[in-house]
Amino acid sequence: MVDVNGVRLHIAEQGEGPLVVLLHGFPESWHSWHRQFGPLADAGFRVVAPDQRGYGGSDHPDDVDAYTILHLVGDVVGLIKELGEEKAYVVGHDWGAPVAWHTALLRPDMVLGVAGLSVPPPFRGPQRPLAMMEERFGDRFYWTYFNRPGVADAEFARDTRTTLRKFLYSASAAASPSGEIMQPLVDPERGWLAFMEDPEVLPEWLTEDDLDALTESFSGGFTGALNWYRNLDRNWDLTAAWDNAVVTRPSLYLYGDRDLVPAFPGARELIDVLPDLMPGLWRKPIELSGCGHWTQQERPDEVNAALVEFLTACREGVDGVPGTERAGS
């Protein structure tokens, strides 16, 4: 347990060397990175994965406005300092990716390199996110559903294990063997889970032990995690000063070709032009064929290889890594 900015964060840790902070997404925990710990530690890195605020063994503040992007970045900054470091590599998946990208955007002095899985780097749109999606999908986009106080919280908590099993399966490549990706739309009256398949057999990458660990981490409910979504518009307001700003630190982006996030409106177009927009981008975005949303869990070998190569190149100052700064310098 680590005290950071008035909250206590539960962390898992392995290895010695330059610090790598791994940031999970929704609905997950530090455990989503358990296949990355060994390979990164063996490559000479100190790997730390927190349960982010509102998740697992970490504190769950009551106030909705305690989950803004500034709080989340502040937790990463505070964690790096509490671990006795001045700088770190930051890697995030799903919601953890915006936290990682924004940490590099807001505190480039503390970020040696940044990698995002699934969610591309932040480019602040011309209008608030909820309004943008409501214009396209009415009240059916899942962000809107999550912003109804207490509604998704209650639906997901009725049977936590079933909720998580459906989520993990439905957003994986196993649920879309044809490669067709559906927008995450919800019937506001029936909820989201009613339309999710409950698999009889788990995908190969997901074990019952994995599901046990994740279910235990949500024993306190889903409200803290859902509060992240309830700050989407507030985050847009708070980041006005960084409109049109870009991440300049050495960066890596990976995504699955069957992931629903790159299929969001405008996301694929952004991915296509990232090499022109991101001065620190290392190579082109890496697309993993046949991979769904749970990138580092569905395709751990490819993700581990890409992360080890990128982080090692940053650490050793290899040519071709823009803006490289050696760890400890």
The residues annotated with a catalytic role in the active site are 94, 293
CA count, 13 A, side-chain hemisphere, 233: 13
C-beta atoms surrounding 213 within 10 Å: 16
| CA atoms of 80 and 100, how far apart (whole Å) | 13
Strand partners, 141: 185
Residues in the chain, total:
329
Strand partners, 185: 141
Q: Name the residue with tokens 């395709």.
A: 299
| CA atoms of 314 and 251, how far apart (whole Å) | 9
CA count, 13 A, side-chain hemisphere, 198: 9
Q: Name the residue with tokens 């749970």.
A: 294
| CA atoms of 147 and 232, how far apart (whole Å) | 9
CB 259 within 8 A of CB 291: yes
Angle at 143 between CA 197 and CA 166, to 5 degrees: 15
Query: Tell me, what DSSP letter sits at residue 191?
Result: B
Structure tokens at 182: 């559906």
Is the link from the previous residue into 27 a cis peptide, with omega within 30 of 0? Answer: yes
Query: Please, which residues have CB within 8 angstroms of residue 321's CB and are 6 or more apart in sequence?
Result: 113, 250, 282, 310, 313, 314
Q: Name the residue with tokens 């950071």.
A: 4
Angle at 253 between CA 98 and CA 202, to 5 degrees: 85
